[in-house]
Amino acid sequence: MKVLRLYAAHDLRLDDDSVPQPAAGEVLVRVTAVSLCGSDLHWFSEGGIGPARVEEGPVTLGHEMAGIISSGDHRGQRVAIDPAIPCGVCEFCQQGNPNFCERLRFAGDGTTDGGLREYIVWPERCLYPLPDSIGDAEAALLEALGIALHSADLCHFRAAMRVGIFGCGPIGLLMVQMARLSGAVQIIATDRLPHRLEAARAYGATHTFLSDGGGENEAVLGCTGGRGVDVAVEAAGENAAVETSIAACKPGGRVVLIGIPADDRTVFNASVARRKGLTIKICRRMKHTYPRAIALVQSGLVDVRSLITHRYPLGQANEAFAQAEKRTGIKVVLEMK
């Protein structure tokens, strides 16, 4: 089988490997689609993410994935693949927080191979059957939607709120949709790229502004009559977006940080956050969201299909990553033909 490995920043190679054999509790899955995530781009562009570095050995990326079970009793079943494998027995798993699992394995994190390969073995408990109405490429985006769902839970969205979304990549655009579904009366969105703001308006944003190193803050506050937003969501991975989130949030409001900063540091003006008495939450992946994500897409309440702007076969992975790195579209998907 073919497997895509990252050997260094911008050094992707398509290698040959043997088809893996499932162990107890696992099944063989033929991968059908993998969506490229911002964290994949950190690996591709920078050779790592946080303390994990590619120098420790070649990495198989890809954690937003879908496939078809190719062994066992459910052979032929199309599935979404949860990239997280919690142990199920540690303190945090037992408390219902598997995203904090002490022994969590996660696809494409540098220690566990991801889905950019023709076949993968995965625990059957981490696979979710797909309805025919959800295509393979759409199913690969269910992981991103799961993060948006978990973030929305952290936001404590309620009807008639004013919400700010700062950063309109795929997660930010899904957060726009979640805020709209929750009955927000104002959804204010910012980004550096005009085409992403256009998408945000299509998904329900009521006001959009190009981010300009904080120059947009006055306009954002002006939308709310100087009151500020009830909830601010940072989804850019940039400290400027964190600062805007804090500046835009009303006293006593809530800020949820989703983005992954390139330098592994989040910095903001502490005095502003302190004087406002803000609650700041940081999103750690997701938990218990796949069934809800599937239901939202199946019902048509959330649109993931239109987020996909580019599709490539596995053999054109270098072109796919280069396209994603340029950020001229929204979501790039590799499809296994």
DSSP 37-106: -HHHHHHHHHSEETTEEGGGS-B----EEEEEE-SSTTTT-EEEE-SEE--SSSHHHHTT-GGG-TT-EE
Domain spans of the chain?
2-141+304-335, 145-282
**In the beta sheet, which residues pair with residue 122?**
27
CA atoms within 13 A on the CB side of 109: 12
User: Can you give the pTM of this predicted structure?
Assistant: 0.95
Residue 278 three-state SS: coil
**In the beta sheet, which residues pair with residue 59?**
6
Do 183 and 159 form a contact (C-beta atoms < 8 A)? Answer: yes
Specify the amino acid at residue 97: N
Alpha helices in the chain (DSSP H): 38-46, 91-94, 136-140, 142-155, 170-181, 194-203, 217-223, 239-248, 270-276, 290-299, 317-326
Do 290 and 128 form a contact (C-beta atoms < 8 A)? Answer: yes
Other Cβ atoms less than 10 A from the Cβ of 271: the count is: 8
Range 2-141+304-335 has CATH code 3.90.180.10: yes
The pLDDT value recorded for residue 215 is 81
> What distance in Å separates the CA atoms of residue 271 and residue 250, rounded to the nearest whole number?
14
Do 160 and 167 form a contact (C-beta atoms < 8 A)? Answer: no
Do 207 and 186 form a contact (C-beta atoms < 8 A)? Answer: yes
The pLDDT value recorded for residue 188 is 98
The pLDDT value recorded for residue 154 is 98
pLDDT 10s per residue in the chain (337 long)? 999 999 999 999 999 999 999 999 999 999 999 999 999 999 999 998 878 888 878 999 999 999 999 999 999 999 999 999 999 999 999 999 999 999 999 999 989 999 999 999 999 999 999 999 999 999 999 999 999 999 999 999 999 999 999 999 999 999 999 999 999 999 999 999 999 999 999 999 999 999 987 788 899 999 999 999 999 999 999 999 999 999 999 999 999 999 988 888 899 989 999 999 999 999 999 999 999 999 999 999 999 999 999 999 999 999 999 999 999 999 999 998 7
Torsion of CA 204, 210, 216, 221, to 10 degrees: -10
CATH fold of 145-282 reads Rossmann fold (3.40.50)
DSSP structure string for 122-148: EEGGGEEE--TTS-HHHHHTHHHHHHH
> What distance in Å separates the CA atoms of residue 199 and residue 178, rounded to the nearest whole number?
14
Do 266 and 257 form a contact (C-beta atoms < 8 A)? Answer: yes
Residue 78: both structure tokens together: 């199309």
The pLDDT value recorded for residue 207 is 98
